[in-house]
Amino acid sequence: MGNTGIAMIGGGSWATALVKVLNQNQHHVHWWIRNQAVIDCLKKENHNPDYLSGVKFSPAQISPSNNLEEIFSKAEIIFLAVPSAYIKNVLQKLSPANFQNKIFISAIKGMIPQENLLIAEFLEKEFSVPEKNIINISGPSHAEEVALEKLSYLTLACTNEVNAKLACDLLACKYVRCSTSDDVEGTEYSAVLKNIYAIAAGVFHGLGYGDNFHAVLISNCIEEMERFLKAVHPITRDIKDSAYLGDLLVTAYSQFSRNRTLGAMIGKGYSVKNALLEMNMVAEGYYAAKCVHEINAQHHINIPIVEAVYEILYEEGNAEVILGKVTKLLS
């Protein structure tokens, strides 16, 4: 395993944390980063200046580059950690030939905007990657806590159990525990939905609602999530598993949640545009709300919290008025 070529695509916080874990497990990583200044800093000062800058890397364990085709050619296992809104643009110059006989591990918690595709669906459609070679990483986990070596749990979902276990072996260490699942579509959708719900939780927090209400909100969010998953991917699953409920809880409550932060800013009076401009990281829930709203136009699932977030983000609705209506629907 140590001699297998491994690549990381992305230069953000999750990419940085995952490279740290892979290095700790004695894996060299070919690391694609768009920004040449970040690459230069990694080579000279051994840290990422933009994200998790306290994490130090050994030059012998990373090969940073912005030559994507070269990075792909050196790896059999490729981690994807680029925001969903940008992944299509990042990969656009590659062809299906670049993706042959490779395993892809996605740490992306979103969908392809406009096309409303999950990352696994996108890889299959655009680059003919077989589903058995696509693995989805689910939480509950934040990159910041992984970087701080706080005990975290990951679920690796793949239709091929051997490949899921391979991903577990790559990432499991003293502070990362890993388990496997075959529910790729369900874990991807739940990661998409929990970011939308975290925005709702943030807006309510910004409006001054307390812990008692938030407990009711999140209880209703997990019920919505279960209804949605049963409609779009009806298999047997336990919605209380950490890949679903746990990931929702940490994203809705944590100080590290960028989606909750976006919502809180809106609740405190920021316009959506200004809130997005002030954030230096992508809030996946912003794009996810539109994707799920459009998907639900076909399914007509009862998901009022998602629809309320969509109305606030895309129809310039008054957050206090819209969410005031939602409070009357909760139980």
* Residues marked as catalytic: 194
Q: Is 43 left (phi over 0), alpha (psi -120 to 50) or beta?
A: alpha
Q: Note whether 212 and 266 are within 8 A (CB).
A: no
Which residues have a Cβ under 8 Å from the Cβ of 61 and sit 6 or more positions away? 23, 27, 28, 29
How far apart CA 13 and CA 147 sit, in angstroms, is 9
How far apart CA 6 and CA 31 sit, in angstroms, is 9
| Residue 165, token pair as written in the block | 């276990």
Residue 314, H or E segment: helix 304-314
CA dihedral 140, 292, 184, 224 (to 10 degrees): 60
Q: Note whether 197 and 305 are within 8 A (CB).
A: yes
Q: Give per-residue burial for 167-177: e unless 16+ CB within 10 Å, then b.
A: bbebbbbeebe
Q: Note whether 259 and 198 are within 8 A (CB).
A: yes
Tell me the CA distances in angstroms from 50 to 16, 42, 170, one per residue in order: 10, 11, 25
Amino acid letter, 76: E
